[in-house]
Structure 1
Amino acid sequence: MVTSRVITWVVTESKGYETSWITSGAGALSARGRAVGTTPEPYWISYELDTADGFVTRRLRVTAETAAGTRVLDLRHDGEGHWTADGEWLPDLGGALDCDLGLCPLTNTMPVLRHGLHLGPGEREFLMAWVSVPELTVRASQQTYTHLGRHADGGRVRFASGDYRSDLELDADGYVVDYPTMARRLATA
């Protein structure tokens, strides 16, 4: 069954907002979103995300606008573990399955859904293709997601990367409701 929804978050870390239009079903999702922030500098982001079976990232296309100008990133994963950014091979990302767009709560969804971590016990380590905002530089990021508990409306998952940790509240569909210090859901439709 294919579902569509719109989610808006206040992104406290950037002093801004994000809205994402999401279509999901059969182990994949696609989304397009817009975000505006004022930290680290005023910016406007628009993105398109496509995943394949198992919620594995296939493509993330991002446009960032700042006072300095416009940047565009076309990040692609070939399904075999190879990543490119604007056509250039990224050897440090070998084995990564997911992208993680900085300051974007939506991109926490894919690894959680793939392993059902919002619904049941487990801990998984991931290599992510992390994209900085608003610079749009790509680097490898080791991240760990750990199931902390389930409740009627979803579950709690601990996100960890390096010394950083945050306990995320997720809805029953695996989307972020509250990401302390980063983002909180305002509305969904």
Structure 2
Amino acid sequence: MRTLATLLWRRLDQPGHDACRVSLHDAEYRIEGCAVFRHTDGRAAQLSYRVLCDTRWQTRAATVRGWLGDASVHLSILHDARQGWLFDDVPVPSVAHCLDVDLGFTPATNLLPLRRLNLAPGQEAKVPAAWFDPSTGILQPLPQTYCRLDGSRYHYEAPTLGFEAELRVGAEGLVHDYPGLWRAEA
């Protein structure tokens, strides 16, 4: 295993932190971390995550373990070309067109499209993601657009959420400033 990056984020909209490590294991990229935060409904949460990708940064699998208030969380998300997306072994046809998983409780998964697309400044891409929102507990499509502004900034938009922002990323590709939501700690 070779560690490529580590980062600690502080949540801005409510109490919380997320610690993440990106590593390479043979021919597999891994994004692993743990987010602790106060959920929007006031409950405390601790969610550990692991995302496995191939060498093109396409999601193969993700797991989330932990708790949200008094509810245990233990889920798996699998993706392959033949079966599509499986959420806890159940097919989810509505996200069949998505290449990336987006775990809605961490900024870590923004790394997937940023690395996979490798946009040049001025380039834009629509990249719908298979989005897991812990508020709903389901996997659903999330239309997203990334436009690279320069070497460290992207305009990001998720129109169904009514959200857009200018993301600042580090050299390793992780989002360092997610306005109003997350900021990397120095």
Q: Would the TM-score normalized by the shorter structure come out above 0.5?
A: yes
Instruction: Give 1:68's aligned residue.
Output: 70
Instruction: Give 2:12's aligned residue.
Output: 12
Percent identity (aligned): 25
Pairwise CA distance, 1:81:
7.1
SS of residue in 1 equivalent to 2:172: coil
Q: Aligned pair count?
A: 182
Instruction: Give 1:33's aligned residue.
Output: 33
1:157 pairs, out of 154, 159, 164, with 154
Measured in 2, the distance between the counterparts of 1:139 and 1:182 equals: 21
Q: CA contact under 8 A between 2:103 and 2:131: conserved in structure 1?
A: yes
Pairwise CA distance, 1:173:
1.9
Pair 1:123 & 2:124 matched = yes
Letter in 1 for 2:112: M
Measured in 1, the distance between the counterparts of 2:173 and 2:26 equals: 14
Pairwise CA distance, 1:28:
5.3
Instruction: Give 2:22's aligned residue.
Output: 22
Runs of 5+ consecutive residues of structure 2 not aligned to the other structure:
none
SS of residue in 2 equivalent to 1:110: helix
Measured in 1, the distance between the counterparts of 2:182 and 2:85 equals: 28
Instruction: Give 2:170's aligned residue.
Output: 171
Using structure 2 for the length normalisation, give the TM-score: 0.89
Pairwise CA distance, 1:184:
0.4
Letter in 2 for 1:161: A
Q: What do residues 60-116 of structure 1 show as CA deviations (whole Å, max 9, x unaligned)?
A: 100130233202110010145710001000000112110010131110011111122
Measured in 1, the distance between the counterparts of 2:122 and 2:78 equals: 31
Using structure 1 for the length normalisation, give the TM-score: 0.87
Letter in 2 for 1:160: E
Measured in 1, the distance between the counterparts of 2:185 and 2:29 equals: 21
Measured in 1, the distance between the counterparts of 2:169 and 2:26 equals: 20
Letter in 2 for 1:139: Q
Measured in 2, the distance between the counterparts of 1:70 and 1:88 equals: 19
Q: CA contact under 8 A between 2:61 and 2:78: conserved in structure 1?
A: yes
Instruction: Give 2:140's aligned residue.
Output: 139
Residues 116 and 27 of structure 1: is their aligned pair in 2 closer, same or farther, counting only changes over 3 Å?
A: farther
Residues 81 and 15 of structure 1: is their aligned pair in 2 closer, same or farther, counting only changes over 3 Å?
A: farther
Letter in 1 for 2:23: T
Measured in 1, the distance between the counterparts of 2:167 and 2:83 equals: 27
Letter in 1 for 2:38: T
Letter in 1 for 2:156: F
Q: CA contact under 8 A between 1:73 and 1:136: conserved in structure 2?
A: no
Runs of 5+ consecutive residues of structure 1 not aligned to the other structure:
none
Pairwise CA distance, 1:14:
4.1
Measured in 1, the distance between the counterparts of 2:147 and 2:12 equals: 23
Pairwise CA RMSD of aligned residues? 2.1
